[in-house]
């Protein structure tokens, strides 16, 4: 059996060519199957007397499995199949081609006694679905149908690019079928293109009224006038196909032109024939070219942290599983903080192959209606890549159901293919939610807090002094933005005079930037403090910048100083003479750690910074902020750390880089402690214990 793919631009005549070739091949006594791979499903019409047939995707949609409904026998006994496609503007036609081919395979429609399978394929866009016949287990050889019009030649060149992606230098192209439109100099354009890509023009189809007559009668030219010059063209192509199967005709590799030569072709200039290079698939070498992290998962996390917001994940069940499994804090929140179970808050449309072809609008509508029926008042719709690609009408569905039921349904179109990776999609989610804020005047003394987190470590969780400090200064928090807040608090974000940030990282920056842009609430640039010195300085700044009462500030500073002295009285000089080495990222706040080391008597000998991760540290400072006299080495890897440890023989290595866990010597991995003094003091105790054990 030989399998042949006929590619060409839409409307270029490839279906007419394919039907005539199939008719001629079947006339030679061969069993021929023609598969139309164009959503408009008209490839086999001339073989069926002008009528259209049921498509494979019609059967998939209806659930019918009777092969007789989709496999029609046409003129000369040609078995006719049409893949079909979804409704225009809905679903994914390319994915439908994949499904149609799976249907053919599962139902053994093309069996072992078939001699030729001919695929008639749309060549305008060679995406993953329409490229299926190019894959090795389908098309053995490819014909390109083109006229002298530039867009037809452009489509043919794109098909060659697709073949090269799959095959490299493998020979699988038979040649070009020139279907004349009667334009001036078009034969010269086609021949120039053929010469440049190294392919023969295997046949020239003349401009003829005979084709129009045959079309009107619903037959092929080969049937209408078998002895005509027009019919002899297809007889010649049929002979080539049988010759290929017998080994008398050779095939050619795909040598697509680059953009420069395609432009020269359009201008009628001389074409050098430089092959398109670099189109074979491979991993991106530039980090910015990749999608770093699932954007939909990040959007889901933003929604999850709003306690009274239920979530519909519009996508496959695998995405839903990944989103839930990746939220490590969920189990903690549900067990310890009284949140409703995940099963009550989150549902998924469970998009399958059927929905990815024909659209998931109805499934989405049903899930939202179901949640509303169970009493949900606030619902977020988080889309994944699939509905974004196929074009589901999420916004209109959300608007319609919001108005009909008087509830809040927020569309968060977070699919990474259209919006980008985690950072970009977080902004999409935040803007969608922030669109609900109410326009109101700020209330003096009210602030929003961005980036607060409940530490999983129970000791660190109990060391969070932030509420004591804020209460002592008379600062009232209106909303813990996107951290276990409620949607009503989000609506009233504009009541705050300013945003305070819990910590300084990319996530907090992205939230604060969105809130500044869409809610017009400015952000205080200094994050909440860690350690005593930083806390005292922060309070002084709050008096100056935030209008805090100086007397309250002094009282709070005295309280912190007294408490710090009490908590560290048994730790002072505990590790006198010990030496530490730091292995930290370049944007680490070390003020609290330097203070901690000074209190317990540790000297920091040196600091090493690993290679900066451009994704996580895009806004990192140029250098690590350490006290004068501590040498810093940049661009260090784990091997450099081990060499430094061997050189200095420190009592302990302190760091926030995960690789530190692989170090054999004494080490302590730390994270940023909670604001205030007690988190920093807890790290003092841990460092002290580690040094004492190492000295035993």
Q: What is the set of active-site residues?
A: 9, 14, 40, 124
Strand 446-450 relative to strand 346-348: parallel, antiparallel, unpaired? unpaired
Report helix, strand or coil for 453.
Answer: coil
Cα 451 from Cα 589, distance rounded (Å): 16
Strands of 476-481's sheet in order across: 476-481, 446-450, 498-501
Kindly tell me the sign of the dihedral angle through the C-alpha atoms of 617, 621, 624, 626.
Answer: negative
Question: Nearest to residue 525, comparing CAs of 543, 553, 545?
Answer: 545
Report helix, strand or coil for 170.
Answer: coil
Phi, psi angle pair for 537, to nearest 5°: -65, -40
Question: How many Cβ atoms from other residues are within 10 Å of residue 590's Cβ?
Answer: 20
Phi, psi angle pair for 352, to nearest 5°: -115, -170
Is the Cβ–Cβ distance between 196 and 264 less than 8 Å? no
Give Cα 630 to chain centroid, integer Å. 43
Stated length of the chain: 696
Phi, psi angle pair for 84, to nearest 5°: 80, -165
SS (H, E, C) 357-424: HHCCHHHHHHHHHHHHHCCCCEEEEEECHHHHHHCCCHHHHHHHHHHHHCCEEEEECCCHHHHCCHHH
Cα 358 from Cα 98, distance rounded (Å): 13
∠ CA 566-569-572, rounded to 5°: 145
Cα 387 from Cα 352, distance rounded (Å): 11
Question: How many Cβ atoms from other residues are within 10 Å of residue 311's Cβ?
Answer: 25
Q: What is the DSSP letter of 676?
A: B
């Amino acid at each position: 059996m030989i399998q042949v793919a006929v590619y060409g631009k839409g409307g270029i005549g490839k279906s007419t060519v394919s039907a005539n070739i199939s008719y001629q091949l079947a006339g030679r006594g061969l069993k021929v199957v023609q598969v139309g791979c164009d959503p408009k499903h008209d490839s086999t019409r001339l073989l069926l007397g002008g009528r259209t047939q049921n498509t494979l995707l019609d059967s998939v949609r209806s659930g019918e499995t009777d092969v007789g409904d989709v496999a029609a026998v046409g003129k000369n006994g040609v078995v006719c199949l049409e893949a079909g496609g979804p409704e225009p503007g809905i679903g994914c036609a390319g994915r439908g081609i994949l499904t149609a081919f799976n249907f053919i395979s599962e139902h053994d429609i093309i069996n072992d006694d078939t001699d030729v399978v001919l695929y008639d394929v749309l060549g305008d866009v060679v995406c993953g679905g329409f490229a299926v016949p190019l894959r090795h287990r389908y098309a053995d050889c490819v014909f390109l149908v083109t006229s002298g019009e530039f867009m037809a030649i452009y489509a043919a060149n794109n098909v060659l690019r697709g073949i090269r992606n799959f095959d490299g230098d493998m020979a699988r192209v038979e040649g070009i079928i020139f279907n004349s439109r009667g334009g001036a100099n078009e034969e010269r354009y086609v021949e120039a293109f053929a010469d440049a890509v190294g392919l023969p023009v295997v046949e020239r189809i003349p401009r003829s009224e005979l084709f129009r007559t045959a079309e009107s009668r619903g037959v092929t030219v080969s049937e209408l006038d078998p002895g005509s010059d027009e019919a002899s063209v297809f007889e010649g192509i049929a002979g080539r196909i049988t010759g290929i199967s017998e080994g008398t005709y050779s095939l050619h590799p795909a040598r697509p032109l680059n953009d420069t030569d395609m432009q020269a072709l359009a201008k009628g200039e001389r074409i050098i024939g430089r092959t398109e290079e670099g189109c074979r698939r491979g991993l991106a070498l530039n980090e910015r070219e990749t999608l770093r992290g699932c954007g939909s998962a990040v959007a889901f996390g933003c929604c999850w942290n709003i306690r009274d917001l239920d979530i519909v994940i519009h996508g496959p069940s695998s995405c839903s599983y990944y989103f839930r499994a990746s939220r490590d804090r969920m189990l903690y929140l549900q067990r310890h903080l009284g949140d409703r179970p995940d099963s009550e808050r989150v549902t998924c449309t469970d998009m399958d192959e059927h929905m990815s072809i024909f659209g998931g609008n109805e499934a989405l509508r049903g899930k939202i209606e179901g949640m509303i029926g169970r009493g949900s008042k606030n619902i977020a719709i988080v889309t994944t890549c699939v509905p974004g690609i196929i074009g589901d009408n999420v916004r209109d569905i959300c608007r319609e159901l919001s108005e009909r039921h008087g509830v809040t349904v927020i569309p968060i179109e977070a699919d990474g293919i259209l919006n980008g990776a985690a950072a970009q999609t977080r902004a999409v989610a935040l803007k969608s939610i922030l669109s609900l804020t109410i326009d109101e005047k700020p209330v003096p003394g009210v602030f929003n807090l961005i980036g607060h987190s409940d530490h999983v470590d129970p000791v660190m969780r109990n060391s969070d002094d932030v509420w004591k400090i804020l209460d002592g200064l008379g600062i009232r928090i209106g909303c813990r933005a996107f951290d276990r807040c409620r949607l009503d608090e989000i609506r009233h974000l504009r009541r705050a005079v300013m945003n305070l940030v819990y910590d300084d990282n990319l996530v907090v920056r992205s939230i604060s930037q969105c809130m500044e842009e869409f809610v017009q609430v400015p952000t205080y640039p200094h994050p909440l403090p860690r350690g005593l010195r930083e806390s005292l300085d922060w309070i002084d700044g709050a008096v100056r910048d935030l209008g805090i009462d100086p007397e309250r500030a002094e009282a709070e500073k005295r309280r912190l100083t007294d408490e710090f002295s009490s908590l560290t009285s048994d730790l002072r000089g505990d590790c006198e003479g010990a030496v530490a080495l730091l292995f930290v990222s370049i944007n680490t706040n070390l003020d609290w750690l330097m203070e901690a080391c000074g209190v317990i008597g540790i000297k920091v000998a040196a600091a090493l910074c690993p290679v900066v991760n451009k994704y996580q540290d895009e806004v990192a400072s140029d250098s690590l902020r350490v006290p004068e006299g501590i040498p810093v080495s940049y661009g260090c890897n784990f091997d450099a750390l081990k060499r430094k440890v061997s050189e200095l023989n420190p009592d302990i290595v302190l760091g926030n880089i995960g690789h530190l866990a692989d170090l054999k010597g004494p080490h302590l991995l730390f994270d940023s402690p909670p604001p205030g003094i007690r988190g920093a003091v807890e790290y003092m105790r841990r460092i002290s214990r580690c040094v004492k054990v190492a000295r035993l």
